[in-house]
Amino acid sequence: MASAIILRSVTKTYTRAGESLRVLDELDLQMQGGTFYALMGPSGSGKTTLLNLVGGLDTADAGEVIVGDTDLGTLDGSQLAAWRARNVGFVFQGFNLLPVLTARENVELPLLLAPLSKAERRAQAERALELVGLSDRMDHKPRELSGGQEQRVAIARAIASDPEVLLADEPTGDLDRTTAGTVLDLLQRLNRELKKTILMVTHDPQAATYADQVIHLDKGKLGRIDDNRAAAKRS
């Protein structure tokens, strides 16, 4: 069973230049495991902050963030790091591959934290790259790849350690429409075939149609949730 994500009365406030800004305001939200969610809302509505909290990159000021069986608020810095390594894969807008490593080495990077032999790491990284259709680009460095290929390597890196949750922050923001479609198809396939729970931040309504449900945030609070599956059935 894929991990469910539960947020209870989550509050997050940032202080910038002496001013406090409440980004998430007692947010309650429950997401089912194995579902593809799109997270939408205007700039400053708290989308990326929510993603960071669910991914254990940041901690809430108040409330609970529970992913699977783990209450992230109970973990310290190194426990959170270890939890991230096992349970979450990240896909960023700017791809965020390490430029000095090849595609294969980038994908192998999170596997260094798993108890695997060198051969096992290599095999697992190659499988992940095959899954995203890049078996012929394994030894290329990021600068030798197109934007779409870079993002597919980033997705391969995110799934290499087989996490249950994939978090994607504007994964198609830097891509053209066609390439974005390829990446979104891939994410949808990972959700449907491998039952990954996916939470994707996007500004693009077209990208959001790939998700099962679309969560709308507004000023740190939950707006509405659209169910694309129900809409598809109706039509």
Partner 1 sequence: MPWQLLWRNVLGHPVRSLLTVGAVAVAVFLVCMLQAVTSGLSRTLDAAAANRLLVQSAVSLFVDLPLAYQQKLASIPGIDAICKWQWFGGRYEQDKGGFFPQFGIDPETFLVSYPEMTVVDGDYAAFQKERTACMVGSDTATKYGWKVGQTVPITGTIFQRTDGRPWEFTVRAIYTSTSAAVDKISLYFHYDYLRESVEQGGATGPEGVGVYMLRVTPGTDPLTVQQAADALFENGPQRVQTTTEAEFNRQFISMLGDVPTLLRLIGGAVLFAIFFAVLNTMLMAGRERTRDLGIMKALGFTDRTAGLLLLAESLALCAIGAALGLLLGLLAEAPFAMMTAAFLPGFGFDRDTALLGAMVALGVGMIAGILPGLRAARLTTVDALREVG
Q: At what angle do helices 118-131 and 147-160 cross, to 10 degrees?
A: 130
Binding partner 1 by CB under 8 A: which of 6, 57, 116, 194? 57
Binding characters for partner 1, 156-185, by CB under 8 A (x = yes): -x----------------------------
Shortest Å, Cβ 106 to partner 1 = 9
d(C-alpha 140, C-alpha 10), whole Å: 42
Asked if 68 touches partner 1 (CB under 8 A), the answer is no
Taking the least distance from each CB to partner 1, the nearer of 3 and 52 is 52
d(C-alpha 58, C-alpha 50), whole Å: 9
Shortest Å, Cβ 83 to partner 1 = 8
Shortest Å, Cβ 105 to partner 1 = 6
| CB-CB contact of 31 with 165 (8 Å) | no
d(C-alpha 3, C-alpha 189), whole Å: 18
Binding partner 1 by CB under 8 A: which of 68, 75, 92, 218? 92
Which 3 state secondary structure label does DSSP give 204? coil
Asked if 123 touches partner 1 (CB under 8 A), the answer is no
Tell me the number of residues near partner 1 by CB under 8 A: 27
Burial class (CB in 10 A: 0-12, 13-18, 19+), 63: middle
Taking the least distance from each CB to partner 1, the nearer of 47 and 157 is 157
Taking the least distance from each CB to partner 1, the nearer of 77 and 115 is 77
Tokens representing 37 are 């969610």
Binding partner 1 by CB under 8 A: which of 85, 116, 122, 209? 85
Asked if 96 touches partner 1 (CB under 8 A), the answer is yes
Burial class (CB in 10 A: 0-12, 13-18, 19+), 96: middle
How many other C-beta atoms are found inside a 10 Å radius of the C-beta of residue 68?
16
| CB-CB contact of 103 with 118 (8 Å) | no
For residues 128-166, one letter each, b for 16 or more C-beta atoms within 10 angstroms of the residue's C-beta and e for the rest, the string is bbebbebeebbebbbeebebbbbbbbbbbbbbbbebbbb
Interface segment toward partner 1; rule CB under 8 A; list 1-9, 79-87, 189-197, 199-207: 79-87
Shortest Å, Cβ 231 to partner 1 = 33
Binding partner 1 by CB under 8 A: which of 3, 23, 60, 90? 90
Taking the least distance from each CB to partner 1, the nearer of 96 and 188 is 96
Residues in contact with partner 1 by CB under 8 A are: 52, 55, 57-58, 77-78, 81-86, 90, 92, 94, 96-101, 105, 109-110, 112-113, 157
